[in-house]
Amino acid sequence: DERLRINFGPAGLVSGLCHTDKENPFPVWQNGHISRCFNQLILGALPHAGMAVFSACYLSLARYGKSICKILLHTSPPCGWTLRLGSTLLAALLFTADVILVSILQQGDMYLDVLADCCAILAWLVHFSAITVLQKSAFRRTRGPPLLLLLVLLSVPNIVITLTIYCNNQECLNLTDLVKFARFVLVSARTFPLLVYLFAFAFPCISDAGYTLYINAVDGSPLIPDSTQPDTGEMVAEDGSGCFSRLFYLWLTPLLKRGQRRELHRPVDVYHLPRKLRTCVIHRYFHQCWEACRPGAVLHKAFGLRYYMLGVLKVVVNMLSFAGPLLLSSLVNFMEEEGAPLSWGMWCTLGLFTATLLSSVLRNIFVFEVSKVALSARAALVTAIYGKALRVSGSSLAGFALGEVVNLMSTDTDRVVNFFNSFHELWSLPFQFSITLYLLYLQVGVAFLGGLCVALLLVPLNKFLASRILSNNKHMLRYKDSRVKLMTEILFGIRVIKFYNWEPHFTQKVDDCRKQELSHLKAIKYLDAMCVYTWAALPVVISILTFITFVLLGHQLTAAKVFTTLALVGMLIFPLNCFPWVLNGILEAKVSLERIQLFFKLPNQDLQAYYALGSRDQNTEGETETVGSLVVVVGKVGCGKSSLLAALTGELNRETGFGLASQEPWIQHASVRDNILFGKDYDPAFYQAVIEACALSDDLSILPNGDKTEVGENGVTLSGGQKARLALARAVYMDKDIYLLDDPLAAVDADVAEHLMQKCIIELLRGKTRILCTHRVEFVDKADVVVLMDNGTIINTGTPEKILPLVEVVPKKRRNDNNAKEKDGVTQDEEELTSPLDLCGDEDSDLTGAEQKQVGGLAWRVYQTYWVAVGGVLAASILMSLLLMQASKNISDWWLSHWISELKNNSSARFNESSPDAFSSPHLLLFSPGGLVSPLSSVQMHPSNMSSDVKFYLTVYGSIAAANTVFTALRAFLFAYGAICAATEIHNRLLDRVLKATVTFFDTTPLGRILNRFSSDLYSVDDSLPFILNILLANVFGLLGMLVVISYGLPWVLVPLIPLAVLYHRTQHFYRHTSRELKRLCSVTLSPVYSHFSETLTGLGTIRASGSSARFEEENAKRLEQNQRCLFLSNAAMQWLDIRLQLIGVAVVTGLGVIAVIQHQFNSVDPGLVGLSLSYALSITTLLSGLIFSFTQTEMQLVSVERTEEYSTSLPTEPQHQNMQLPPAWPEQGWLEFRSVVLAYRDGLPNALDGVSLVVRPGEKVGIVGRTGSGKSTMFLALFRMVEINQGQILLDGLDISSVGLAQLRSRLAIIPQDPFLFSGTIRENLDPCGRHRDEQLLDVLDQCHLSSVVNRKGGLDAGVGERGKSFSVGQRQLLCLARALLTQAKVLCIDEATASVDQKTDQLLQQTIREKFQGKTVLTIAHRINTIMDSDRVLVMRAGKVVEFDTPAALCQTDHSIFQRLVGGGEE
């Protein structure tokens, strides 16, 4: 009984179970560690039992409803939960395996192990079920209850102690007893699921695809997506992602997948910006900083702290970059020593792995964070510049050309943003440099100063080269600015250029600018090449000089010293080389920042001061205040009517704004309705009334989409009359109390003018104060007050009865147009409608048509284009010199490793005699990122034996290196030359093709899009593409060289390299699709930002008048936000790729280390080659990411070649043939005949001319009338073949004009277009750009056009006319255009409403001039004023593209019901 009781009492049970002594059945401490019994029962079974019980509590948790469950099953659960499920299951399996092994072993304490294992199996299975339930419950989006973590952590001590017991027990580690060893392996394996579980808990990755924050979920709660593929356009980037997701950019996956499916076409498909980077958030924050400090320091205040904090990260990254080479040298020393302990090699390899991994991750984080700061700064600057432009005063803005202001937003902002990338380098490069120098000093003592002096001497040289490059860059940009400005004018005035056949002259002008620009570009490229060459030659010079100094100081050269020195010198080069560029970037940013600050310092519109300036208008003050009166201002051309209104705008801006219809209508690139509403709400009744009053209903009925029709930039697709009426409608719809109407009646015909005056100005605007400038005398009598002006002063005011008689005497005319809006040189009638192409607005229109076929990869055609542009032979020789350069570099490195092996072999015989301090030399081997490396021999030789050898090896090394520098020089200079050739060729083809394009192309393509080709795309081809292509080629050849060397040194490396190569290929393939589309979207979303900015600058008057500044700022922010979204994701995608490539690099380096260590154990390794291979491998990450980055960048830049190529090859051009048999005097008589001519502007549009047949006899003067849109201007376009006719013939002196070359035809005709267009330049250049006439003739013509007094006042023929003729009033510009026509001496003259802006007195004088000068010549005149054409020989009346009446004015007046008779009657009323 007693015995039984002892056996079956608690103590006996325990001792039986634990197989312990009955006296002490449950020992806690045994053999110097915790006993197995205590470990298995208290630390093992007990926590596991607790885990099972508490996990079971979660099994009854409420799940989501059925419907939600279905949706949830579609989206994969967050990877954190999945990992935890997997690890719990794995743990249960491992314990099960342990039970099996225990039962095989049949040891004494087997029941203790079985009990503990079974508890564990139960616990992990219950935990598994709990997790399955939790991830379908409300915990799905969280880490789950923290209690779970605690339960798992309780089992950790058990594993740790079990492992310690096993390690102390030699039997378990004995390979002969396999079952015991297997148990040890199982226990070790158990740590894995535990670690995975803890990792998954720490990084739950909740924000996987299904859980990304949605932009519409205001509270940030998840909207469960109803489709399996979430819409990336609704997601927010990065916000709400876990650490793990952020580290490896997993939040990008849905977007990358979408890119791979080729579904990334529109900017709206891209993620939204994280909240901190939203434009509105940054704008508010920046504005607060702006208020808080002086403008100079605002960037510093806004982004300084965050940016400087990143510097700390940079220090860590720099320190880690030295760890790699140091560990590598240690590893090579290990290879050298026979029988070195294995642990040394393993520690080195492990250290290499850790250092490279950490360095990669931290560098990646650093780069991405800096790019975020740069993006924020860009958003802040662009919004600030835009806001300033809206507020700056008109007079101070006049000092800037339009292009310059837009440049502030584009080029200058970009440079300031680049500063963020350069600044940290500014201190980190000297830091790296000084550490390298210290290590060099440890190596060769003071001898390093010899080489260093040369390096430092090169710094001023480099500084000199950098400053030359900088100044050339400045000049180049200046010429680029002037070339782009010239191109802008050419594109604006393309019709005038074509009418007058001036293309050759303007091509020449652009070529001259381009030549200047290229001469500076050439200088830049050659100076660049010079830099590249000096830095490539430097390492050799420095190392050889260092060695000579070392020997002269009486020391002995050894291999160890040679290699280490060379490697260190390689490391010195990088900071020295980069520094000037970093400095350059910072200086450029400084220059740009100063330009931006200058702009910010311009005075804002100060209304009090503004009004004081307009003191000459004080006299009108009394009348203006009479509420509801109609004030009419009259006076002759250039007497200051517009200036009076401009002065008033300043005063009126203080109130709620006012309605302004300026003389040159400013039309937005939007639909007709949007132009009229101008941001106000749509009120159907009032809207209809405005349309009726402004006589727009007929026009809207013929537009393809009614008032939804898109109007081109500056209203290019409307006729002059339509633009004026549209601008008037916009002003009227604003419904303000005060209206300033700057001659809205000039561009319309008599009956429409009558309608506008009566219905709009008098009826619809009744009760408002209206100030109307006009010179249509017939309407003056309707005014309450008339103001007469002359020479900028008011000479009389009073009732119409009092003033009218004076007006008859003083020719009344119109004003000096200060607030003139840019005009577009357009003479189309309204049927010239927007093509369907244009209806989608600019953002998308850039993707329509041509842009769509460019999705996906770049065609080989593009590469071929560039190859051909460079020149085949030249391109081939560039590649050849690159190959030779790389080969000579690799051979010189190999030679060193060969030398060391020889040394080692020779020395082994004399090893024992070597000096006792052989190992005391600090042998340290460092490797340049570019890769020269060699291990050191730790054996020093006796001087006598080695000197001849050293001499031999050094000579060979020197000569290989010398060859290398020659090839380098060759490559650098050949490349520079090739880049210049390509730039020249591509520009010439583009310019040639664009100037030959048809007029229709210019009407349907927004100007900004064409200009983009000439500015940013050409800049890429000139500068960015060669730069990045150079890097790409160097990378490709560098990688090839590296692979050859590595596989030669350690052939085994090819085994892990093959899967890594496959991985690399797949990764970059996955990335490139999305990256390319994102880059394309970046450039597509950039144009709208700039075009909106330039549109705003031209329409400042209207925008301020209507008080719409805030709305325009919002629009700008919206467009900028679109662009920033694409840019941010483009950067993120780059970092996504970078971190993956870095990891591949880490794998290669670690793999190499492991292979080397294993091979060392088998003594089958040549340390020289291993050192070489390893040192090359260290730079593999830099090369791999460099390769892909430069490849994608090259592709991006090649998109510019693709875009210019698209214009150079596929633009519709005008026929270029010439008629060789043409008599030089043709046309001799001026006999003109239309034979059933049919013309439609584009397919699907109504015919603008519909079967027109008529004959104009030689020397006849014909007047052409008809309502807007009846086809009057179209006849001229057909005659000049600006638009080719669809049917019929036009004969000139019996010769079909389609058989004559365009240049021949246009040079024999003269035209005065409807919109007076002047090029900025002198008066002489505008009258006679090609310089065919003498000054006397020019002055004579000016005199005939009554302009000589004005021209003399401005300073003669060499006076400038301002940007697009701004310093002349519109009337004066029309007179200048007339003078131009008089010079051509053509037999046929076409006048298109050329005197609409001229008062009647001047008009009569002009008509007289035309009659005298063109006596015996054929003159066709389109006129709105009937009296202009009353003295014509015959009058042609057009309606809807048909000839309705054609007879003498007298005959038509006699005919009953003739349209002409009605018109005359209307005019005389």
Q: Beta-carbon neighbour count of residue 1064 at 10 Å?
A: 18
Rounded-to-integer distance, Cα 114 and Cα 120, Å: 10
Instruction: Please state the φ and ψ torsions of residue 263, each to the nearest 5 degrees.
Output: -115, 20
Q: What is the mean pLDDT of residues 1018-1028?
A: 86
Do 711 and 671 contact (CB within 8 A), yes or no?
A: yes
Do 256 and 292 contact (CB within 8 A), yes or no?
A: no
Query: In which band, very low, low, confident or very high, does the pLDDT at 930 lie, cut at 50, 70 and 90?
Result: very low
Rounded-to-integer distance, Cα 399 and Cα 995, Å: 30
Rounded-to-integer distance, Cα 1145 and Cα 1140, Å: 9
Q: What is the mean pLDDT of residues 94-106?
A: 86
Q: Which two tokens stand for residue 981?
A: 């050739």
Strand 29-30 to strand 33-34: parallel, antiparallel, or no bridges (unpaired)?
Answer: antiparallel
Residue 630 β-bridge partners? 770
Residue 997: DSSP 8-state = B
Percent helix, strand and coil across the chain, each to the nearest 5: 70, 5, 25
Whether the pLDDT of residue 141 is over 90: the answer is: no
Q: Which two tokens stand for residue 1455?
A: 């005919």
Inter-helix orientation angle 1180-1210/1025-1049, to 10°: 140
Whole-Å CA distances, 1426 to 190, 821, 1358, 1468: 102, 28, 37, 9
Whether the pLDDT of residue 1434 is over 50: the answer is: yes
Strand 1261-1265 to strand 1249-1256: parallel, antiparallel, or no bridges (unpaired)?
Answer: unpaired
Whether the pLDDT of residue 518 is over 70: the answer is: yes
Do 910 and 940 contact (CB within 8 A), yes or no?
A: no
Alpha-helical runs (H) found in 392-401? 394-397
Do 583 and 426 contact (CB within 8 A), yes or no?
A: yes
Q: Beta-carbon neighbour count of residue 919 at 10 Å?
A: 13
Whether the pLDDT of residue 498 is over 70: the answer is: yes
Q: What is the mean pLDDT of residues 694-705?
A: 82
Q: What is the mean pLDDT of residues 1274-1283?
A: 87
Do 1089 and 1120 contact (CB within 8 A), yes or no?
A: yes
Whether the pLDDT of residue 1236 is over 60: the answer is: yes
Whether the pLDDT of residue 72 is over 60: the answer is: no
Report which of 195, 363, 368 is spatially closest to residue 1128, judged by C-alpha positions.
368
* pLDDT tens digit sequence for 1049-1095: 778 778 888 888 888 888 888 888 888 788 888 888 888 888 888 88
Report which of 1212, 984, 983, 996 is spatially closest to residue 506, judged by C-alpha positions.
996
As separate numbers, helices (DSSP H) first and strands (DSSP E) second, the chain gives 54, 18
Do 425 and 582 contact (CB within 8 A), yes or no?
A: yes
Residue 521 exposure: Cα atoms within 13 Å on the Cβ side: 28
Residue 262: DSSP 8-state = T
So what's the pLDDT on residue 821? 34
Rounded-to-integer distance, Cα 662 and Cα 238, Å: 48
The DSSP element (H or E) to which 1291 belongs, if any, is strand 1287-1292
Of 135-139, 835-839, 982-986, 1096-1100, which gets the smallest average pLDDT? Answer: 835-839
Whether the pLDDT of residue 1192 is over 80: the answer is: no
So what's the pLDDT on residue 376? 93
Residues in the chain: 1469
Q: What is the mean pLDDT of residues 608-619?
A: 45
Query: In which band, very low, low, confident or very high, does the pLDDT at 58 lie, cut at 50, 70 and 90?
Result: confident
Q: Beta-carbon neighbour count of residue 44 at 10 Å?
A: 25
So what's the pLDDT on residue 209? 40
Rounded-to-integer distance, Cα 117 and Cα 101, Å: 11
* Residue 671 buriedness (CB in 10 A; 0-12 / 13-18 / 19+): buried
So what's the pLDDT on residue 378? 92
So what's the pLDDT on residue 371? 92
The DSSP line for 1126-1195 is HHHHHHHHHHHHHHHHHHHHHHHHHHHHHHHHHHHHTT---HHHHHHHHHHHHTHHHHHHHHHHHHHHHH
So what's the pLDDT on residue 1396? 67
Q: Which two tokens stand for residue 751?
A: 């009956």
So what's the pLDDT on residue 843? 35
Q: Beta-carbon neighbour count of residue 277 at 10 Å?
A: 22
Residue 627: DSSP 8-state = T
Query: In which band, very low, low, confident or very high, does the pLDDT at 28 lie, cut at 50, 70 and 90?
Result: confident
Rounded-to-integer distance, Cα 930 and Cα 928, Å: 5
Preceding amide of 47 cis, omega within 30: no
Do 980 and 525 contact (CB within 8 A), yes or no?
A: yes
Do 56 and 126 contact (CB within 8 A), yes or no?
A: yes
Q: Beta-carbon neighbour count of residue 800 at 10 Å?
A: 17
Instruction: Please state the φ and ψ torsions of residue 527, each to the nearest 5 degrees.
Output: -65, -40
Question: At 749, is the secondary structure helix, strand, or coil?
Answer: coil
Q: If phi over 0 gives left and psi between -120 and 50 gives alpha, with beta otherwise, what is residue 1073?
A: alpha
Do 649 and 624 contact (CB within 8 A), yes or no?
A: no
Whole-Å CA distances, 530 to 64, 198, 822, 982, 1416: 70, 56, 46, 20, 67
Gyration radius from the chain CA atoms: 42
Among residues of the chain, what percentage have pLDDT more than 90? Answer: 7
* pLDDT tens digit sequence for 443-458: 788 888 877 888 788 7
So what's the pLDDT on residue 1128? 93
Most confident of 10-14, 30-34, 1229-1233: 1229-1233
Question: Quick one: how far is CA 579 from the chain centroid?
Answer: 26
So what's the pLDDT on residue 781? 81
**Non-local CB neighbours of 1456 within 8 Å, separated by 6+ positions:** none
Instruction: Please report the beta strands in 25-180, taking only residues with DSSP state E, as ranges in sequence order.
Output: 29-30, 33-34
Average pLDDT of the chain is 78
**Non-local CB neighbours of 460 within 8 Å, separated by 6+ positions:** none
Q: Which two tokens stand for residue 614?
A: 């307009």
**Non-local CB neighbours of 519 within 8 Å, separated by 6+ positions:** none
Between 565 and 867, name the one with better pLDDT.
867
Strand 785-790 to strand 630-634: parallel, antiparallel, or no bridges (unpaired)?
Answer: parallel
So what's the pLDDT on residue 812? 39
Token pair 């990338």 in the structure block, residue: 421
Whether the pLDDT of residue 370 is over 90: the answer is: yes
Q: What is the mean pLDDT of residues 1241-1260?
A: 84
